[in-house]
Amino acid sequence: MSLPVSVDAMGGDHAPEAVVAGAVMAWRAGQAVELVGDEARIRPLLPKGVEIAIHHTTEVVAMDEPATAPLRSKPQASVRLIFERVASGAACAAVTCGHTGAAMASALKELGMLPGVQRPALVALVPRTDGGRLVLLDLGANVDVRPELLCGFARMGDAFARSVLEIESPRVALLSNGEEEGKGNDTVRSAFPLLAESGLNFVGNMEPVGAMRGGCDVLVCDGFSGNVMLKTVESTVELVSRLLREEINRRTSARFGAWLIQGALRRFRLRTEEQAAGGAVLLGVNGVAVVGHGRSDAVAVAAAIQHAARQVEVDLMGQLRGETANEP
Amino acid sequence: MSLPVSVDAMGGDHAPEAVVAGAVMAWRAGQAVELVGDEARIRPLLPKGVEIAIHHTTEVVAMDEPATAPLRSKPQASVRLIFERVASGAACAAVTCGHTGAAMASALKELGMLPGVQRPALVALVPRTDGGRLVLLDLGANVDVRPELLCGFARMGDAFARSVLEIESPRVALLSNGEEEGKGNDTVRSAFPLLAESGLNFVGNMEPVGAMRGGCDVLVCDGFSGNVMLKTVESTVELVSRLLREEINRRTSARFGAWLIQGALRRFRLRTEEQAAGGAVLLGVNGVAVVGHGRSDAVAVAAAIQHAARQVEVDLMGQLRGETANEP
């Protein structure tokens, strides 16, 4: 049997229940998984006949603790041990829905960085209007960046799109407030010529509208703007769903109509949610690391595990090593 | 009769047709308006009995011209003359759906800045999940900012929320990638203590999700992030509408259901679009200036005109003068 995905059973708003349930779903779908956390709490949640190993630890990093907690006061924290399992070759990938900062610090400590990488970046997939998916990075690992860092993110995003999305020559764009060269803030304006000479398939500056309509495959930005963009997508989906529900509830015939289209509404929700459900990937560390949403339910946890397994399957690390080796 | 709103008939993707039609709608609703542009093209578009004065000029700034065109090569451009009309006291406010940069340069030249303002900012209203509206600024007038500028934006946003939205003590927040103090990029972290001591009702850092759920009334940010956030809201509304339509079209019963809820869908579209339709307001210049979306149709143009008239009615300028006079 192949190496398991190591899952932080104690991370997330609904841990360990939702995490264990998600791990069971993934296991039933044929994915090897293991759980790291408090055995006394995890064991009772495992149904009979489900063979998922538990690596016991009682140390947990709470959401209000500093990101450095697993490095300083809690070296046995579940969020750190999952990366240790990958580093030691006992697991193929690590998944947590807990403290993002603590996960990043632990991943860096245990896995180290790929050669040539200056700073890791968080990447996620955003649904596009044309049915494709947009590789968006960085999402908050680096809020203040130099232009050279954006080039590094572009290379990693390119490798991600090649391997995970199987796009041969991903179109890479810089997030900006206008499409013309010369638009953007100081960092974007300085990064533009670097990307133009990078050898990547650089298509220039792009606004969120153009990118979400399918104008590029990889959208590169600093972690502050990327975080704003990702969170705004989430908020707007919530806003639109709420407004639509309100409008529908106003009239009885509309409510009957809503009942008739409820399957469509359900599929629509699944479709917009499933992308986010995969969680963010920490690119640039020497191993596959997925950070799911804190509020992940069992389905989202299972999706994050599959997302991690998929990266192992397509050899994302090999692709990244090839790509980042080209960096100066 | 009260002073007219001066409208740039030649600005926007559908000018002059959509602009003239929008001006006629506003005039029929009782609003005094005037049109600035090519009389030979505007006159045939005015229905009989509609009394809208035309101020003739043939100079127009195209979207691909530099923002400085109305100051250098085209001093008689329609986008500049509307502000001259306000400056001379002939009009109460100016509206254009044309070149944002050219509009800003012209407004600054003709109207000058309010005392105490360091830099003008673009502000717009974004719908919130709780039914309220979020005052978001800056939207792109200043892509690289110092922390002190964010404080100035906060004061102007506060004045806008007080007068236009009639909120007694607007809750002001800083756009950030996390709610705790210490989150954010360098600029946000430096602006936090300044805002805490500003005397405004500062509620701290806020992410897009918290702000759009109603956690604040005014969300302050640099023009780059604000532009990303506003454009992402627009793109996501488009994305969700598209995905939902696709899901609905899959099955016949769903299509029948969609027919039953079509009134709700129409009202929903109006509600999400009407906010943007008002256009962005250029705050900080000495006069009311509204910059509508380039793709505005007649309804959006009429909304932008009403939006401008509303600011005159509630004396936004008086409120801003009182607020910005407090600045150091």
The domains of chain A, with CATH numbers, are 1-117+284-328 (3.40.718.10), 124-276 (3.40.718.10)
A273: nearest CA in chain B?
Answer: B240
Q: With an 8 Å Cβ cutoff, are B267 and A256 in contact?
A: no
Least confident of A17-31, A80-94, A274-288: A274-288
- The answer to whether residue A41 scores a pLDDT higher than 60 is yes
Q: For residue range A78-100, what is the model confidence (pLDDT) as tens digits?
A: 999 999 999 999 999 999 999 99
Q: Which of residues 237-256 of A touch B (CB under 8 A)?
A: 237-244, 247-248, 250-251, 253-254, 256
Write down the mean pLDDT value for chain A. 91
Per-residue pLDDT at A238: 84
- Rounded to 5, what percent of chain A is helix, strand, coil? 45, 15, 35
What is the enclosing helix (H) or strand (E) of A256?
Answer: helix A252-260
Is the Cβ of A267 closer than 8 Å to some Cβ of chain B?
yes
Per-residue pLDDT at A328: 46
- The answer to whether residue A326 scores a pLDDT higher than 60 is no
**Tokens representing residue A84 in the block:** 């240790």
Letter for the amino acid at B145? V
Per-residue pLDDT at B328: 46
Strand order in the sheet with A172-175: A53-56, A33-37, A5-8, A93-96, A288-291, A280-283, A121-127, A133-137, A218-220, A172-175, A202-206
Q: For residue range B55-80, what is the model confidence (pLDDT) as tens digits?
A: 999 999 998 899 999 999 999 999 99
Q: With an 8 Å Cβ cutoff, are A233 and B229 in contact?
A: no
Q: Which residues of A touch B227 (CB under 8 A)?
A: 177, 207
Q: From the list B129, B224, B264, which residue is nearest A225 (CB)?
A: B224
Per-residue pLDDT at A269: 67
Residues of chain B predicted below pLDDT 50: 328
Q: Which of residues 289-328 of A touch B (CB under 8 A)?
A: none
Q: For residue range A226-265, what is the model confidence (pLDDT) as tens digits?
A: 999 999 998 888 888 887 777 777 777 777 777 777 777 7
pTM for the structure as a whole = 0.92
Chain B: give the shortest CA distance to residue A212, in Å: 7
Q: What's the CA angle centered on B137, arms B135 and B143, to 5 degrees? A: 165
Longest distance between any two alpha carbons in chain A, whole Å: 64
Per-residue pLDDT at A62: 92
Per-residue pLDDT at A251: 72
Chain B: give the shortest CA distance to residue A191, in Å: 15
Average pLDDT value for residue range A170-186:
93
CB B61 within 8 A of CB B102: yes
Nearest to B42 by CA among B72, B73, B19, B66: B19
